Structure 1
């Protein structure tokens, strides 16, 4: 007889606990949605002013010079990091 009482109490506690969690999470979702609506209504995002168009970076016209600079940088790196 005690076993049935204990199982009944356990099931009752489980139903109340799960019900409380469900109600809490439902209220949490509702309040979050309400806050989202209020924030978007009373604090709209500022208008974005388009920036002036940027000029393109000048292209490297002298590829030989670029290759020489890169080669010198690699050589200097290897000289400094020898084991």
Structure 2
């Protein structure tokens, strides 16, 4: 009969633990939702994005130079490791 009582206590403890976790997660979701609503109400409006035209020439030159360096490094790597295949 002692095994049955031990099993009963274990099931009660499991139900209590699962109930506590369920309540905690429910409260966590509600608090997070409430915080989101409050922040949306009091947060400043985002500014309008800048015109999405072409990149400035300085950035384009940097990107071109970077692509050239990456291409050269890739070419050199492939030359050195070609015989290992």
TM-score, structure 1 normalization = 0.59
> Any stretches of 5+ residues in structure 2 without a counterpart?
58-67, 81-85
Which structure would you say has the larger Rg? 1
Instruction: Work out the number of aligned pairs and report it.
Output: 63
- TM-score normalised over the length of structure 2: 0.58
SS at match of 1:47: coil
Residue matched to 1:50: 50
With a CA cutoff of 8 Å and minimum separation of 6, indicate the structure with the bigger relative contact order.
1
Partner Cα separation in structure 2 for residue 33 and residue 18 of structure 1: 23
| Root mean square deviation, CA, Å | 3.1
Unaligned runs of 5+ in 1: 58-69
